[in-house]
Amino acid sequence: MAVRVEMQDFDVGREIATLTTGRTDIGAIVTFTGTVRGQAKGRAIVSMTLEHYPGMTEAELARVEAEARARWPLDASLIVHRYGELKPGDNIVLVVTASRHRQAAFEAAEYLMDYLKSRAPFWKKETTADGEGQWVDAREADETALARWDEKPGT
Amino acid sequence: MRDAVADRAQGPMRMTLLYFAWVRERIGRASETLEVPERLLTVADLVDWLRKRGPEYEAAFQRPDLVRAAIDQQHVKPDAGIAGAREVAFFPPVTGG
């Protein structure tokens, strides 16, 4: 039930503990962590810079989270997205979903990732060893991933 | 919430424009506040008007289909009305996650 946009790294174990300590109603916790790849189109990446739209980013993430909670019986959820300069291997994004049963937690985590990738106002710029920066293009596959949720009934 | 009375205000509309990622780089600034003629009705009208402001805007908007927009921090389509908008943002398709 929270979204955070921040420069600092996150600790997955600590985030789960914060979300679930003292809770005995939860039976399933799913986490997704997105990390920086060291290669793009066959070229080595030395850093990735994430720009975002302060204010709108938090609002969009909260909207996406609210939609997931309306669709699945989640007992807890969290989205953390970093911005600023990151290195290969660094964490970028964390999604945690918790529910009584695993299916809701798995599906809601995928839904959150699909929607935040298409709606949260972040832009990635990759820098190669020669110092050249390249904005990452949006992938058509991400739009295709979104479309599958239209076919499923709400709630 | 939009104020219906403000939507019908006379004269130029004062709005803050924000630019992100390569739209920001091509225009050469992250934000500006402009007096926008009231005859401009939609986001697409605003883009056409901006393109005539100079080569940096033309460079940013030469492929309007590659530029997305938000009004007051909500995603909108090119045909969205801009009357009453306080903040209009232009940016490439998002690539977070």
pLDDT in tens, B13-31: 999 999 999 999 999 999 9
* Contact predicate A135/A41, CB 8 Å: no
Strand partners, A3: A79
Q: Do B94 and A56 touch (CB under 8 A)?
A: no
Using the predicted structure, report yes or no on whether residue A155 has a pLDDT greater than 50: no
Tens digits of per-residue pLDDT, A124-146? 999 999 889 999 998 877 878 88
Please provide residue A23's backbone torsions phi and psi, each rounded to the nearest 5 degrees.
-100, 125
E strands present in chain A: 2-6, 28-35, 39-40, 43-52, 74-82, 84-86, 91-99, 122-128, 133-135
Q: Do A119 and B95 touch (CB under 8 A)?
A: no
- Supply the pTM of this predicted model: 0.91
For residue A126, the distance in angstroms to the closest alpha carbon of chain B comes to 12
Q: Do B96 and A120 touch (CB under 8 A)?
A: yes
Of A55, A113, A118, the CB nearest to B94: A118
- What CA–CA distance (Å, rounded) separates B26 from B17? 14
- What CA–CA distance (Å, rounded) separates A133 from A115? 26
**% chain B with pLDDT above 70:** 90
pLDDT category at B9 given cuts 50, 70, 90 is low
Using the predicted structure, report yes or no on whether residue A60 has a pLDDT greater than 70: yes
pLDDT number for residue A152: 58
pLDDT number for residue A18: 96
What is the mean predicted confidence (pLDDT) over A106-110? 98
pLDDT category at A117 given cuts 50, 70, 90 is very high
Average pLDDT, chain A: 94
The DSSP annotation for B15-52 comes to EEEEE-HHHHHHHT-SEEEEEE-TT--BHHHHHHHHHT
pLDDT number for residue A151: 64
Give ipTM to 2 decimals: 0.90
* Contact predicate A109/A65, CB 8 Å: no
Q: Residue B67: closest CA among chain A residues belongs to which residue?
A: A138
Q: Is A25 on the interface with B (CB under 8 A)?
A: no
The DSSP symbol for A109 reads H
B17: which chain A residues are within 8 Å (Cβ-Cβ)?
none
What is the mean predicted confidence (pLDDT) over A13-35? 96
Give which of B65, B31, B94, B19 is closest to A121, Cα–Cα.
B94
